[in-house]
Amino acid sequence: MKPLHPAPSTSAPLIGAKLRSTRRAQGLTIAQLASATSITTGFISRIERDETSPSVSTLITICQVLSLPIGLLFETPTLEIVALDEAPLINLGGFNAIEKLLTPRSESRVQLLRSVLEPGATGGKDLYTINCDLEVLHILSGCLVLRFADREMSLSSGDTITLPGREPHSWSNTTKDRTEVMWTIIPAAWSGSA
């Protein structure tokens, strides 16, 4: 058998946008990065626009100043689609609710849940907490009463509320119509196997 010699790629990896977004996230200007790396502002600008490819040593220097592991520049993000009709049903303990997990089970940074709440649906008589830092509730359609220890809030279609996940609360659909909501939980309150 003949050995196979794959041809190298003719296109350079596009790393400029990742470098630019990392620099900006740290609040650095091109001039500040240039000063810290002893690389000219023009060269950094061309690198960030993918108009030139830096040497390995230049790239290492830039990544060290940005505290950016060099390997992250070459990683392709994993993209996973969860179709609504294939999303797993979950049970958060509510009554008369159909709840689906819209993010992959393995995702630990965030969870997105879609709930269809029939008339009379409730999160329970007792207040509960979620093991997360932040919970965002968006009403897609219908109305929902969100109950806390010291108050109640009525939310309707289009409303969004942000609350600490560890704030004791519950909810109920007190109307005669179906309510649909989206819950965003940050970070994920639990993770399961994919």
**Predicted TM-score (pTM) of this structure:** 0.67
The better pLDDT of the pair 12, 64 is held by 64
Is pLDDT at 187 greater than 80 in this prediction?
yes
Q: Looking at the structure, tell me whether residues 128 and 176 fall in a common domain.
A: yes
φ/ψ of 73, rounded to 5, equals -65, -25
Predicted local confidence at residue 194, as pLDDT: 38
CA distances from 113 to 26, 32, 85, 125, 135 (A): 32, 42, 13, 21, 11
Number of compact structural domains in the chain: 2
Q: Looking at the structure, tell me whether residues 94 and 70 fall in a common domain.
A: no
The better pLDDT of the pair 105, 181 is held by 181
Range of the domain at 172: 84-186
Predicted local confidence at residue 193, as pLDDT: 39
Is residue 10 a part of any domain in this protein?
no
CATH number, domain of 93, equals 2.60.120.10
Cis peptide before 3 (omega within 30 of 0): no
Is residue 191 a part of any domain in this protein?
no
Is pLDDT at 122 greater than 60 in this prediction?
yes
Question: What value does the mean pLDDT of the chain take?
Answer: 91
